[in-house]
Amino acid sequence: MMNYLQKSIFITFILSLSLTIVNADEIGMNVGVSHSPSGEYKLYSDDGSYKIESSGIPYSIYFLLGHAKFSFLNYQSMASTDSSSGCCRASAHIVTQMLSVSYQDVIQNFGDAKIYYSAGIGTIQSVGHYTYNYYSSEYDDYTIDYQGKTSEQFNFGPVLEFGFQNFQGRGFYGLGLTYIMENKVKYEYHTGIKKDESDDVDLGGHIISLISGIYF
């Protein structure tokens, strides 16, 4: 059960969110159609890092009050490969969430459509799931499975977006391009008797999204 402090924080968050929705000029949602992570993950201690690939559909929800844009973004990625000897396979699955505050303005207004940009800063929280599988015809197979999260509470980094919106009554639809600038984090894994920390992992990249929402 939640203690008094947790209840107070939860109630404050709900009230703040309700106030934001009531006063918002615009509410929208982005659904990713393309996600290109820019980072790499070191899967083996005696080998180099491997490219991180997208492993899910990114999505975000945002509120716009004047020029202030408040966004929540969720995206998933992974890295995996077999060892050079063929005995092992390692993979890392990553789920990342970012809260950001940006300044948004219009680049060009066409009357029934607009091109805009937003620039701001976000903080990232991420969880990682590392799996190592060993296969052998002579010995028992085994699996190592670690779960962890970013070692720092806050991981700030710049975020930039360009978008196009076409108006339909009080609604709109369009296309957006979001750049998540380089944001290197470390993952802290609990291995039972100790804590292991990963090498730096860049969670940056860019996302192309379909946009829809309503104006008030």
CATH of the domain at 140: 2.40.160.20
Q: How confident is the model at residue 192 (pLDDT cuts 50, 70, 90)?
A: low
pLDDT digits (tens, 9 = 90+) for 24-71: 789 999 999 999 999 999 887 777 788 999 999 999 999 898 999 999
Give yes or no for a contact between 207 and 35, defined as CB atoms under 8 angstroms apart: yes
Full residue range of the structural domain in which residue 150 is found: 4-215
Give yes or no for a contact between 91 and 130, defined as CB atoms under 8 angstroms apart: yes
Q: How confident is the model at residue 1 (pLDDT cuts 50, 70, 90)?
A: very low
Count up the domains in the chain and report the number: 1
Q: Is the pLDDT of residue 3 over 70?
A: no
Residue among 178, 188, 186, 179 at smallest CA distance from 202: 186
Q: Is the pLDDT of residue 9 over 50?
A: no
pTM, 2 dp: 0.82
